[in-house]
Amino acid sequence: MDHLQELENKSVHIFREAYANFKNLCMLWSIGKDSTVLLWLARKAFFGHVPFPLVHIDTAYKIPEMIEYRDKLAKKWKLNMVYGQNEEILAKKLTFPDGKVDRITCCRYLKTDALRETLSGKGKRYRLNHSTGEYEVDKNTEPYTGVIVGARSDEEGSRSKERYFSPRDVESQWDVGDQPPEFWNQFKTDFAPGTHLRIHPLLDWTELNIWEYIKRENIPTVSLYYNQGDGKRYRSLGCYPCTTPIESDARNVDEIIEELSSGKLKNIAERSGRAQDKDDGGGLETLRRGGYM
């Protein structure tokens, strides 16, 4: 068994443990490479069917191709697709692109607050109607108490402090110092009532593993990850006003794998194009402690 197969097996095991032990699960799909691999693994874990909703937090500032890709796959794979949005903040134009707040505050409004409201059922949710192909207001307002996320420990400093089964309080607040120990394949799945769970099946994967798996499984991704002829590509995807591409000649999956394997990017952080990370002191811990992904 090769390393990729070992990673796949462990991730599938985490999915099945989560589904067996927690009610009202959902899975976050940011449309990026990691969460799309996560979606692929979920379909493997449950034999082509994803038995819980996929939730996307739409900031209204995602690159258009990302939304087109989301809806194309949701319809093709018949996914239970839900999105949430901080409509009040957008209506008031209290965003960084509108010049009203800084990037971190904008992220808190459009991502953290929107995520918390969407998960709790207090905020308006929209669900894809496969009969019409349109999104409609979701009548189900039951809270999601467990959330499966595509975080990797090597991607960014605060994520290295996570566990496979990571507890939050009822407000999704994260106490970094109060994390359960996880030894070998033993996971804590028994938590006090009111605990909100984040579940991380990709925690031990690396960026290189993700791309090797995308190649092995022939997983479709957005074209934004590849150089289109201008010598640049996106390495990490976010909102277009705050995300910039890196210099790269990689035009396909093989060239990205070669770029990562050769060490060409060893001095460039994976999220170096995400401006909000720099505004948060080079990391995401402030946002993540408050409930961000």
Q: Walk along the chain (293 residues) and give the pLDDT tens digit of each residue.
A: 699 999 999 999 999 999 999 999 999 999 999 999 999 999 999 999 999 999 999 999 999 999 999 999 999 999 999 999 999 999 999 999 999 999 999 999 999 999 999 999 999 999 999 999 999 999 999 999 899 999 998 886 565 678 899 887 766 676 666 777 777 677 878 887 878 889 999 999 999 999 999 999 999 999 999 999 999 999 999 999 999 999 999 999 999 999 999 999 988 889 888 877 766 665 555 655 555 65
- List domains and CATH numbers for the chain: 3-205+281-289 (3.40.50.620), 207-277 (no CATH)
Which DSSP helix (H) or strand (E) runs through 127? strand 125-129
Which 3 state secondary structure label does DSSP give 176? coil
Question: What's the farthest any 2 CA atoms get from each other in the chain?
Answer: 54
Residue 132, Cα to own-chain centre: how many angstroms? 27
- B/e letters for 111-149, b = 16+ CB within 10 Å, e = fewer, are bbbbbbbbbbbebebbbbeeeeeebeebeeeeebbbbbb
* pTM as predicted: 0.90
Rg (the chain; Cα; Å): 18
The rounded distance, in Å, linking the Cα atoms of 121 and 141 is: 5
Under a CB-based contact definition with an 8 Å cutoff, are residues 259 and 233 in contact? no
CA atoms within a 13 Å half-sphere pointing along the CA-CB vector of 194 = 4
Residue matched to tokens 């791309």:
211
* pLDDT given at position 112: 92
The rounded distance, in Å, linking the Cα atoms of 34 and 216 is: 15
The rounded distance, in Å, linking the Cα atoms of 41 and 48 is: 9
